[in-house]
Amino acid sequence: MTDATTADGAKGPPRRDFLKLVTGAMAAVGTGAVVWTFIDSMNPDKATIAAGAPIDINLAHVAEGQQIVVLWRGKPMLVVKRTPAAVASLKDQKIVKLLSDPDSKVDQQPPYAQNWHRSLKPEIAVLIGVCTHLGCLPGYFPKPSATTPVPDWPSGYFCPCHGSKYDLAGRVWKGVPAPYNLPVPPYHFLSDTMIRIGENPPGQNWSMSNIVQM
């Protein structure tokens, strides 16, 4: 399942490449396992990344519905190009009523992501893939299923460790072990297809230290 390719699919070299891109992280139907496809490391040096330098991600070749996973500061950053159905699910009251903090009142995200889609643009999700229970990587199950990962699955993230569930904006369900929504890192768009994780939009001054639990 390994399929090496370049991290930057656009023309010309990126300002900054990134340490490790993991793509195709669609959860494997039937197993709940996550398919990780590694892409070459091209960042300048690990020390720079470890120090928290921002990383740039080109979404030009990310398919609708696909999730890519990028390691930044040692944590998986989940970046999804949402389908129209996924965007619609975020306002679906059958799902919203399942959520513990549907309005993202707990500080698990920057102020510019405290909205119904928990992101800058509804069609692009950027989340930190660390379950707020004990830190496992939740699996990405974006489509409703009668059986997978659990019966009557509406779509979202499922943590295989102790069964926590989140919607496609990383909002945690009521009654599961995880207490908070998945965190959102600082990020902004450099262009329609390029995002920079680790840096706020111009004029914003938000620190990840504000996150209640990561």
**CA–CA gap between residue 145 and residue 117 (Å, rounded):** 22
* Cβ-proximal residues to 45 (8 Å cutoff; 6+ apart), any chain: none
Residue 46 CB burial class (10 angstroms; 0-12, 13-18, ≥19): exposed
Of 81, 117, 133, 196, the residue at the interface with ligand FES (CB under 6 A) is 133
**CA–CA gap between residue 134 and residue 176 (Å, rounded):** 12
Of 161, 190, 194, 208, the residue at the interface with ligand FES (CB under 6 A) is 161
CB of 172 to ligand FES, least distance (A): 10
Residue range at the interface with ligand FES (CB under 6 A); choices 2-10, 144-152, 155-163, 180-188: 155-163
> What's at 123, amino acid-wise?
E
**CA–CA gap between residue 82 and residue 116 (Å, rounded):** 14
Of 178, 182, 184, 197, the residue at the interface with ligand FES (CB under 6 A) is 178
The reply to whether 82 sits near ligand FES by the rule CB under 6 A is no
Q: Which is nearer to ligand FES, 128 or 178 (CB)?
A: 178
CB of 149 to ligand FES, least distance (A): 12
Which residues ranging from 87 to 116 are in contact with ligand FES (CB under 6 A)?
A: none
Report CA Rg, the chain. Answer: 16
Q: What residues are annotated to the active site?
A: 162
Give which of 53, 73, 55, 67 is closest to 8, Cα–Cα. Answer: 55
Residue range at the interface with ligand FES (CB under 6 A); choices 43-51, 111-119, 126-134, 199-207: 126-134
What are the residues binding ligand FES (CB under 6 A)? 131, 133-136, 159, 161-164, 177-178
